[in-house]
């Protein structure tokens, strides 16, 4: 069986800046893969290339065996993307946002309402389904944005910094949600700069700095290899960066 994601020497340049610099990795089916790195490391740029929103300057990548340069329409059926900033509409209700997304993703019209209702229940937003998106709390907005990305039952979910800006309780409930999706067999590619979160959630992690991958492995193996107790200490050892550079809140 093919890997969920295969990336080979993928590169993105913006003028003189090389945002993503010849990265190569694989994501196995069903795993939670964490992409860790400080601000500006190239995490979002990588997700944008893998989901067809940005064209690579070089290298290759495939999703479920489909080429990101030539088969993106096919790929979009199998992936859900939760961007850093929500892509939902402030002036639509929670339910209408989901139904609209269902339409965009080609869910048959008869199934749209049912699927929206199901997701509202799973994400515990059913009671607020008729409220406008703009009236939601940050955590509720994040949850609905994830629900929307799952409307077409994708096999792979990309989550770009899912817990940034959430309080401890909301972040914890979102992590549980991510674990549930994992248990359902969904492959999860998530970016984060919270090392503890990555340690709690991820089967494997890649450490990205200035567009380059410095290490890839399970959190446990990285700890053993570097003789460190936490992923934070591993990160400091591997990158030479202090973790303070990892936790700049972006207020999103």
Ligand X SMILES: Nc1ncnc2c1ncn2[C@@H]1O[C@H](COP(=O)(O)OP(=O)(O)OP(=O)(O)O)[C@@H](O)[C@H]1O
| Residues contributing to the site for Mg ion (CB under 5 A) | 43-44
Is the Cβ of residue 44 or residue 62 nearer to Mg ion in the bound state?
44
- The Cα 120–Cα 191 span in angstroms is 25
For the window 113-152, what string marks contact with ligand X as x by the rule CB under 6 A? ----------------------------------------
**36-75 mask for ligand X (x: CB under 6 A)?**
-x-xxxxxxx------------------------------
Is residue 17 at the binding interface for ligand X, with CB under 6 A as the rule? yes
Please state the closest distance from residue 143 (CB atom) to Mg ion, in A. 20
Closest approach, Cβ 112 to ligand X, in A, equals 32
- How many Cβ atoms are within 10 Å of 138's Cβ, its own excluded? 14
Among 4, 5, 19, 206, binds ligand X (CB under 6 A): 19
Nearer residue to ligand X within complex by CB, 39 or 221: 39
- Give the footprint of ligand X on residues 178-207 (CB under 6 A): 193
The helix/strand/coil state of 248 is coil
Q: From the CB of 191, what's the least distance to Mg ion, in Å? A: 6
SS (H, E, C) 147-183: HHHCCCCCCEEEEECCCCCCCHHHHHHHHHHHHHHHH
Q: How far apart, in Å, are the Cα atoms of 116 and each of 2, 144, 153, 157?
A: 31, 10, 11, 17
Name every residue whose Cβ is closer than 8 Å to that of residue 218 and which is 6 or more positions away in sequence. Answer: 203, 204, 205
CB of 18 to ligand X, least distance (A): 8
Closest separation in Å from C-beta 111 to ligand X? 34
Using the minimum distance from each CB to Mg ion, give the nearer residue, 94 or 190. Answer: 190
| Dihedral Cα 198, 200, 203, 208, nearest 10 deg | 10
* Per-position x/- string for 72-91, each x denoting binding to ligand X as judged by CB under 6 A, each - no binding: --------------------
Q: For residue 62, what are the β-bridge partners?
A: 6, 67
Rounded-to-integer distance, Cα 117 and Cα 112, Å: 9
In the complex, what is the shortest distance from the CB of residue 43 to ligand X, in angstroms, rounded to a whole number? 3
Q: Which one, 45 or 62, has the nearer CB to ligand X?
A: 45
Write the DSSP string, 15-59: TTEEEEEEEEEEE-TT-EEEEE--TTSSHHHHHHHHTTSS--SEE
Please give the radius of gyration of the chain, using alpha carbons only, rounded to the nearest integer. Answer: 18
Binding ligand X (rule: CB under 6 A), the pick from 2, 8, 9, 14 is 14
Binding-site ranges for ligand X (CB under 6 A) = 14, 17, 19, 37, 39-45, 193
């Amino acid at each position: 069986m093919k890997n969920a994601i295969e990336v080979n020497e993928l590169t993105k340049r913006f003028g003189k800046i090389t945002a993503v610099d010849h990265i190569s990795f694989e994501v196995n089916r069903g795993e939670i893969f964490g992409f860790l790195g400080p601000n500006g490391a190239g995490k979002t740029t990588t997700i944008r290339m893998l989901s067809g929103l940005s064209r690579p300057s070089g290298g290759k990548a495939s999703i479920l065996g489909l080429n990101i340069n030539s088969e993106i329409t096919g790929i979009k059926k199998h992936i859900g993307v939760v961007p850093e900033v929500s892509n939902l509409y402030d002036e639509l209700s929670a339910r209408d946002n989901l139904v609209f997304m269902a339409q965009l993703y080609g869910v048959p019209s008869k199934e749209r309402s049912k699927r929206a209702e199901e997701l509202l229940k799973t994400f515990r937003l059913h009671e607020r389904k008729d409220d406008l998106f703009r009236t939601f709390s940050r955590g509720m907005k994040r949850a609905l944005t994830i629900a929307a990305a799952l409307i077409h039952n994708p096999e792979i979910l990309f989550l770009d910094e899912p817990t940034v800006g959430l309080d401890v309780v909301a972040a914890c409930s979102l992590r549980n949600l991510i674990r549930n999706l994992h248990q359902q067999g969904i492959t999860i590619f998530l970016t984060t700069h919270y090392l503890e979160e990555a340690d709690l959630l991820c089967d494997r992690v890649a450490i990205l700095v200035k567009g380059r991958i410095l290490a890839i492995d399970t959190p446990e193996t990285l700890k053993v290899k570097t003789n460190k107790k936490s992923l934070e200490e591993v990160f400091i050892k591997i990158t030479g960066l202090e973790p303070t550079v990892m936790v700049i809140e972006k207020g999103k």
